[in-house]
């Protein structure tokens, strides 16, 4: 039950981060240089600390525990390091990370990288607002598909692992609906394209976001990375 609560909390956090990012890009219309400063300023420390956790802290903890289990000699500094880790850091890490993420890069890092890469692609072609929709889809597609797919696994597809058509459709429609809600807040004229093209673009982006979420594990990539990247590429193609 506690693990389920932690998972739900992480999913909510991801959605909140995506909503904030989309709000800054689409509603506030923060200029491109400031968004880069903001994104890299927040993302870089998170990425560095996560790499330190995954490739230094956790391997060292694992090595010390294995040595103690096999009754091999351990240095006093290693004993103190393990004691401090188990007392102060491990309770926090078990809440922030899934057990499978302990010895590798976490989904949070892929999440920020997905935001940064998608914003970079959209900025290069002069349409940074595309990344706003892609980031919005990033925060919605995965938790909606996971929640719907686990509770109501309509038409499961073995080739997609534990994915289903129901989860895919839920991710698509909810993502597209969220994109349309943005149009209720912002005038479509802001984007300098016709309403029909904008609606089509949002629909294509939502479709590719849901498709990326469904196939991420099958192709061996983290869905937090490829959802916004694939979505923004799909939207760029839709505008051609």
Q: How confident is the model at residue 200 (pLDDT cuts 50, 70, 90)?
A: very high
User: Residue 170, Cα to own-chain centre: how many angstroms?
Assistant: 18
Q: Is residue 13 part of a domain?
A: yes
Does residue 71 sit in helix, strand or coil? coil
Structure tokens at 225: 């990375």
Q: How confident is the model at residue 84 (pLDDT cuts 50, 70, 90)?
A: confident
Tell me which residue has tokens 């890490």: 93
Q: Is residue 200 part of a domain?
A: yes
How many Cα atoms are found within 13 Å in the side-chain-facing hemisphere of 123?
A: 15
Query: What's the pLDDT score for residue 149?
Result: 65
Q: What pTM did the predictor assign?
A: 0.85
Please count the structural domains in the chain.
Answer: 1
Average confidence (pLDDT) over 59-83: 84
Cα dihedral 213/113/106/55 (nearest 10) = 140
Q: Write the pLDDT tens digit of every residue in 6-42.
A: 667 777 888 888 889 999 999 888 888 899 998 889 8
- Alpha helices per DSSP H over 53-186: 58-69, 76-84, 90-96, 107-124, 129-151, 165-185
Q: Write the pLDDT tens digit of every residue in 106-133.
A: 888 898 999 999 999 999 999 999 999 9
Query: What's the pLDDT score for residue 1?
Result: 47
Q: Is residue 62 part of a domain?
A: no
Q: Is residue 73 part of a domain?
A: no
């Amino acid at each position: 039950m506690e693990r389920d609560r932690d998972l739900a909390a992480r999913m909510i956090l991801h959605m909140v981060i995506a909503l904030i990012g989309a709000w800054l890009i689409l509603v506030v219309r923060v200029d491109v240089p400031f968004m880069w400063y903001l994104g890299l300023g927040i993302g870089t420390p998170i990425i560095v600390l996560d790499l330190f956790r995954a490739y230094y802290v956790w391997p060292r903890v694992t090595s010390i525990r294995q040595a103690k289990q096999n009754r091999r000699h351990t240095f006093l500094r290693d004993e103190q390091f393990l004691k401090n880790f188990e007392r102060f850091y491990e309770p926090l890490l078990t809440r922030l990370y899934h057990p499978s993420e302990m010895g590798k890069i976490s989904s949070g890092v892929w999440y920020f990288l997905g935001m940064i890469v998608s914003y970079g692609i959209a900025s290069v072609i002069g349409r940074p607002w595309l990344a706003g929709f892609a980031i919005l889809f990033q925060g919605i597609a995965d938790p909606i598909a996971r929640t719907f797919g686990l509770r109501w696994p309509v038409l499961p597809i073995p080739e997609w692992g534990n994915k289903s058509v129901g989860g895919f459709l839920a991710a698509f429609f909810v993502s597209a609906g969220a994109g349309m809600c943005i149009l209720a807040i912002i005038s479509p004229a802001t984007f300098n394209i016709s309403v029909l093209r904008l609606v089509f673009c949002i629909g294509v982006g939502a479709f590719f976001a849901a498709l990326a979420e469904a196939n991420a594990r099958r192709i061996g990539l983290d869905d937090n990375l490829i959802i916004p990247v694939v979505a923004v590429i799909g939207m760029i193609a839709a505008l051609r």
